[in-house]
Structure formats: structure tokens, C-alpha cells
Amino acid sequence: MAENTVLSSGSSGNSSNSLTMTQSIGEERLMVAVRVRPTANAKEEKCIQILSKKSLYFDDGSKNKPKKYVYDYVFDEDSTQDEVYQTTTSPLIKDVLQGLSAAVFAYGATGSGKTHTMLGPNPKKAATPSSELPPKTTSKQGDGLMVKAIDEIFRYVDESENPSDFKVSISYLEIYNELIRDLLNPGSPLELREDNRGQRITVAGLSEITAISRQEVIQLLLKGNKARTMEPTAANQTSSRSHALLSVSVIHRSPLGTKLGRLFLTDLAGSERAKKTKNRGKRLQEGAHINRSLLALGNCINALSGGAKYVNYRDSKLTRLLKEALSGRCKTVMIAHVSPEGQHRDETKNTLVYADRANHITTRLQNPE
């Protein structure tokens, strides 16, 4: 397979897969979606043109013809938080309640909309109407996947025959420069522990909060997000240099036994290249760590979707922590975020190519040559 496997219009014809019917992750093992954020300035030149719910054109700014990329789903600039949730995450909730694990990743450069998707509109900006926020965004509609997922889990539990058989708890951590920090109770870095066979990985001392109400959960997430390591870079003043990982655990006790299901929702660190942000010293080191774990994650997803017998989770803390969700029958969703403005062309292309690699392999699997 060629580097930068970009679909030409010709080859896109046979890339349809079973998601066409359901347009949600449904029974699939891996879903790769792209979300295009709204432009801050409508007059600005764009490098992306959306063709359908599955495809877009990317213009690299040269004389070359725009290239067509095909994904499991493309969310356009007007897509709502609900549409993103219903398509990508809601179908995973039943699995989690049945004792399986699942993971959703928000990938993309700083400013591309990852935190918006995962948590919701920036609360500071939401207070003063901003041109970046569409007027229809209200607090509840605007909630991100983290909040909506917890909401749906609570609804299922409340509507079940015996709600007291369930215990829902959350933990929220960041991985910064390969160090793990508790976002619900910030302090010194925490260590990963493995059981003897390396099967189960835990974070020693990580707080696990038994979630009680929706409001409390939102407060905890907002507070946790404020504790994230923010370092100014030339790309963005409040660039998130850390991966934030929310884990929602559901324990269900019944006469048939105890099941533990876990949903991992990850707001990944900005994927921009270190050299792009004119970083020096500490910043450069962060960039190297970030790229290492994003590369390790991409490798795991590629290996898994390609049916590899051996998948190397050990390359980064991120992949070690997510091993249970990336293996077995568990489902994974990658939502790649891009800005449509021409000025972000390089990062947009990198993100489209990263997402395309994972997607290509599932497509080939479903349509063996």
C-alpha cells in the first residue's frame, strides 16, 4: 500500500461498506469518522469541500486536482453534537452495559474541535456569544460525547428492573510527557500496574468517583479539564499538550455473575508536528511524546483492523491503558477533527491521512481482493 493512501475518485467506488445501511458504528469493529469544524471567518478560502455523508475533497493548494477521501462518516460544519453522539457513541452503550469495553478517540490538531466534541462548547466562550458558536447551540444540545454518554448510561440504569444492581463510576486522567496525572484529584504522577500476566492494567491511586447525578458529573469534568496541562505554543495560546482520558465503568451484579464494562473517551493531545509550532526545548520534547503515543495508537488501530496476530500496546502509556478497549470484541471509534480554512491546510492533510490509513484497512478487510 502506498504511503499516504489517498483515494482517487476511481477507487472510491468499491469502498462502500456495511456502514452505508446503518450509518453508525452498529456492529462494526472500527469506525473512522471526520468532523469538520465551522469556520471562524466565512470569507476565508477553504481547503475542504464536503461531498456526502462519507466523502470530502481536500485541496492541497497546488495546481493538483483536489483529492477525494472516503470515511465511514463525515460530519459537516453544521453537524450537531447529537448527530455526532448518535452516530459514534450511543451504539457502544449497550455493549458497555453488557460487560464489554469500547473506546472513542478525538484526534486532530489544536483548535480543530476535539474538546468541543468531547466536552462541549468552551464554557467561557459560551457565556459571551461568539461567532464560533452557532446560535442554535444551547447548553444541553451542546453537551459533548462525555456528558451524553454518561447521561445515556444513567437512563439505562434507571429504567432497568433493578437499578441498584448497577454501579457507575468515573475516573479522569491525563497523560502528559508519558506521565499520568489524576484530573479529579491532581497531585504527583501515578504509576501503571499490571497483573502477573499483563492482562489487566490499572493506575495505582487513581480516584474512582461513583457518579451520582448528571450535574455532578458535568462539574467534575469541567473541573478536571481545567486541571489539564495547558502550555502556550505558537499554534494556540491554550493548546492542550496532554491526552485526557475519561473512563466510565459500569459494574452489573446479577445472580448470573458480575460484569464490568468500560467506556473510554479520549480527548487526544493536539496532533500538530513539533516543528510547526516553532517549539523549542520543553515544547519540543512534549511534541515528541505526543507524536509517539499518537503513532503508537495509530499502529495499534491499524494492526487490529488488519487482523494482525500481534499488536504492540507497549509503545506508549496511552495504548497500554487502552489495551482492553482496543482488543478482543471491543469497538473503537476514531473521530478525526479538521479545520476547513486554507491556513490549516497542512494539519488538515496530516489528520485526513492518519484517519485514512485506519479506514483503508477496514475497507480492504470487508472487500478482500
Q: Which residues bind ligand ADP (CB under 6 A)?
A: 37-38, 108, 110-116, 121-122, 125, 132-134, 240, 270, 337
Is residue 210 within 8 Å of residue 153, measured between CB atoms?
no
Out of ligand ADP, Mg ion, none, which partner does residue 165 contact, by CB within 5 to 8 A per kind? none
Going by the DSSP 8-state scheme, the letter that residue 12 receives in this structure is G
207 is in an annotated binding site: no
Is residue 62 within 8 Å of residue 69, measured between CB atoms?
no
Which of helix, strand or coil describes residue 325?
Answer: helix
> Which value, in Å, is the radius of gyration of the alpha carbons in the chain?
20
Is residue 156 within 8 Å of residue 248, measured between CB atoms?
no
User: H or E element: which one contains 226?
Assistant: helix 214-226
5 is in an annotated binding site: no
In the bound state with ligand ADP, the residue whose beta carbon lies nearer, of 124 and 329, is: 124
In the bound state with Mg ion, the residue whose beta carbon lies nearer, of 17 and 177, is: 177
Closest by CA to 320, choosing from 252, 239, 250, 243, is: 243
Stretch that binds Mg ion, among 15-23, 139-147, 237-245, 352-360 (CB under 5 A): 237-245
| 229/137 Cα distance (integer angstroms) | 27
Q: Which 91-130 residues touch Mg ion, going by CB under 5 A? A: 114-115
Q: Which 238-267 residues touch Mg ion, going by CB under 5 A? A: 240
Out of ligand ADP, Mg ion, none, which partner does residue 359 contact, by CB within 5 to 8 A per kind? none
Distance in Å from the first CA to the final CA of the chain: 13
In the bound state with ligand ADP, the residue whose beta carbon lies nearer, of 55 and 110, is: 110
In the bound state with Mg ion, the residue whose beta carbon lies nearer, of 89 and 115, is: 115
306 is in an annotated binding site: no
Across-strand partners of 32?
Answer: 334
Out of Mg ion, ligand ADP, none, which partner does residue 122 contact, by CB within 5 to 8 A per kind? ligand ADP
| 119/5 Cα distance (integer angstroms) | 32
Out of Mg ion, ligand ADP, none, which partner does residue 252 contact, by CB within 5 to 8 A per kind? none
| 246/123 Cα distance (integer angstroms) | 19
110 is in an annotated binding site: yes
Out of Mg ion, ligand ADP, none, which partner does residue 189 contact, by CB within 5 to 8 A per kind? none
Cβ-proximal residue to ligand ADP, closest one: 113
Which segments are annotated as binding site? 108-115
Summarize the annotated binding site for ATP as residue ranges: 108-115
